Amino acid sequence: MEHSALTNANDTICAISTPAGVGGIAVCRISGPNAISIADSIWHGRKLSDTDSHTAHLGEVIDSLGQPLDQAVATTFRSPRSFTGEDVVEIAVHGSRFVQRELLNALISAGARLAEPGEFTRRAFASGRFDLAEAEAVADVIASESRAAHRIALNQMKGGFSRRLLELRQSLVELVSLMELELDFSEEDVEFASREKLTLLAQEILAEVSRLHNSFAAGTAIKDGIPVAIVGDTNAGKSSLLNLILGDDRAIVSDIHGTTRDTIEETIDIGDYRFRFIDTAGLRHTDDRIEQIGISRSIDALNRASIILMVSDVTQPFNAELIDRLTQLPQQVALVAILNKIDLSTADDIAQRTQQLPARFTTLPLCALSHAADNQLEALRNALVNIADCEAGTTDILVTNARHAEALGLARESLQRVLHGLENGISGDFVSQDIRETLHHLATITGEIPSTEILSTIFSRFCIGK
């Protein structure tokens, strides 16, 4: 399928690209073969068709009745050096809703049509300005809400993920070429590469595909906010800890057991990351049906968390059942024991309590949480950022898109069959077929094997004007 078939390249489209509503300015984007001539038809000032690409010009826009509408700045971008790869004009006007509406009406009267959601980015993909993974990253950059999420999306938009996929595909092409040469010369006494070398190459490719696939959990957590569950016994200080972190009395604090009946969720940025804190109901046996529902939701939050803060009152025995439940969680879940009320216990008692915790726990002693010192809060924040740094790893290439993760999972399955075939002497034509299947799955990520249905779904999620 040709990419040009995915969009009507004969149409000239227009839309407001800035957020909806009133602002200091609003930017209207026009793209297509007649973008410059249509803009000229509603423009008083230097003729835009005579201007150079990437130049801005002051003038006046005219409404559909031929009346002056607003003073504006028009910037021209000539094909192929534009976002869409087509001729583009961006007109900046004052941010009145009336001005925006009348500007669009004037452009539509002059021959443009209103753009569909994501149509500008879809045209950029169709013209080869972006591959599909890079195009999807445009939406992630727009939606990013933390420095870490923005860094991952920007790296993908600039082609970091696509380049890694290209390297993998080149290695796979080398592998399948050697396999098929082996088939072509099967009756000759010629060896282009030993099965051992081919197996080693397949193992290296499988390891990288698996790493990318496994990074989806961390990538999604960073993109959407790292989920942090605050768990512990009733009256251990969970709600006090949430209030301390937020710097606000978000959760009700009381000496009455079972005060928190449901999960309370709040987000806050710490360092480069966005954290999604979930204050849970105290875990205990109870006959109260409402509290039982809250405890059930607490357990669900616990199972979804990337970080778990277990709050314990050091003046009370540890909840052995809770500790056992937590240590059975996957190894990638970080466990932090918040030892509350250390000011009410001796140093020896605290040391002895710490030794009772499994090695997986990071311990963080705090004074009574209702009046913890600033340095203790800073220690907690630093601990969370350090855990997030470890979760993010040393690479900026983290998978944050469910479609990409699914394709990588399918590629991993076919690569496992490749490796099984190489290790067990299976005929090379069967192994080659599995290699080509892997290439297919990786190509769907960048859109080299496009599907109209998939592309329509992807770009429909973009806002109009992008």
pLDDT, one tens digit per residue, over 312-355 is 888 888 888 888 888 888 888 889 888 887 777 778 877 887 88
Same domain, 247 and 387: yes
Instruction: Out of 106, 130, 154, pick the residue that ends a domain.
Output: 130
383 and 413 together in one domain: no
Residue 207: Cβ-neighbour burial (10 angstroms; 0-12, 13-18, 19+): exposed
Clarify whether residues 32 and 99 are in a common domain: yes
With a cut of 70, say whether residue 157 has pLDDT above it: yes
Q: CB within 8 A of 453, min separation 6: which ones?
A: none
Beta bridge partners of 90: 29, 75
pLDDT in tens, 187-220: 555 555 577 888 888 899 999 999 999 999 889 8
pTM: 0.73
pLDDT at 54 > cutoff 50:
yes
Give the domain CATH number at 243: 3.40.50.300
On whether residue 458 sits in a domain, the answer given is no
Q: Answer yes or no: is pLDDT of 275 > 70.
A: yes
Residues 6+ apart with CB under 8 A from 81: 53, 54
Distances (CA, A) of 214 to 158, 218, 357, 460: 22, 8, 29, 27
Q: What is the pLDDT of residues 213-252, one digit of tens each?
A: 999 988 988 998 999 998 888 777 787 788 888 875 554 4
Torsion of CA 116, 122, 123, 128, to 10 degrees: 180
For 25-47, the pLDDT digits (tens) are 999 999 999 999 999 999 999 99
Of 130, 149, 171, the last residue of a domain is 130
Q: Are residues 238 and 373 in the same domain?
A: yes
Interval 63-78: pLDDT, tens: 999 999 999 999 999 9
Same domain, residue pair 125 and 8: yes
Is 400 in contact with 146 (CB distance < 8 Å)? no
Main-chain dihedrals φ then ψ at residue 79, nearest 5 degrees: -60, 140
Residue that has been written with the tokens 């969720």 in this structure: 265
Query: Where in the sequence is the domain holding 155, given as residue range(s)?
Result: 141-215+399-446
Write out the two tokens for 148: 């870490």
| Count: domains in the chain | 3
Specify whether 361 is located in the same domain as 300.
yes
In DSSP terms, 226 is beta-bridged to 275
258: pLDDT strictly greater than 80: no
Residue-level pLDDT at 412? 96
The CA distance from 21 to 168, in Å, is 45
Give me the percent of the chain exceeding a pLDDT of 90. 36
Residues 421-438, mean pLDDT to the nearest whole number = 86
Q: Is the domain of 121 the same as that of 12?
A: yes
Q: Residue 303 has what pLDDT?
A: 78
